[in-house]
Structure 1
Amino acid sequence: MTIVVAYSPDRYGRAALAHGAAEATLRGEHLLVVNDTRGDALVDDRFAHEEEVARVRGRLETLGLTAEVRQEVVRDVAEGVVKAATETGASLIVVGVRHRSPVGKALLGSVAQRVILDATCPVLAVKPDEESDGI
Structure 2
Amino acid sequence: MQTSVPPRVVVGVDGSPSSYAALRWADRHARLIGGAVEAVHAWETPSESGWSGPAIDPDFDLEQARERFAQELGSVFPEGRPAGLTEHLVEGDPSEVLIRASEGAELLVVGHRGGGGFARAMLGSVSQRCAQHAACPVVVVRTEEDSGR
TM-score between both structures, scaled by the size of structure 2: 0.67
Structure-2 change in CA distance of 1:28 and 1:11 (3 Å): same
Give the Å deviation of 1:53: 5.0
In structure 2, stretches of 5+ residues that fail to align are: 1-6
Q: Is residue 82 of structure 1 aligned with residue 99 of structure 2?
A: yes
Give the Å deviation of 1:50: 5.5
Q: Is residue 69 of structure 1 aligned with residue 68 of structure 2?
A: no
In structure 1, stretches of 5+ residues that fail to align are: 131-135
Amino acid at match of 2:13: Y
Q: Is residue 7 of structure 1 aligned with residue 16 of structure 2?
A: no
Identical aligned pairs, as a percentage?
26
How far apart in 2 are the matches of 1:90 and 1:35? 16
How far apart in 2 are the matches of 1:53 and 1:101? 22
- 8 Å contact from structure 2 (residues 41, 69) kept in 1: no
Give the Å deviation of 1:4: 0.2
1:49 is matched with: 68
Amino acid at match of 2:16: D
Amino acid at match of 1:4: V
- 8 Å contact from structure 1 (residues 57, 69) kept in 2: no
Q: Is residue 128 of structure 1 aligned with residue 128 of structure 2?
A: no
How far apart in 2 are the matches of 1:19 and 1:127? 10
Amino acid at match of 1:79: E
How far apart in 2 are the matches of 1:25 and 1:32? 13
Q: Which protein is richer in helix relative to its size?
A: 1
Structure 2 counterpart SS, 1:70: strand
Q: Which structure is higher in RCO with an 8 Å CA cutoff and minimum separation 6?
A: 1
TM-score between both structures, scaled by the size of structure 1: 0.73
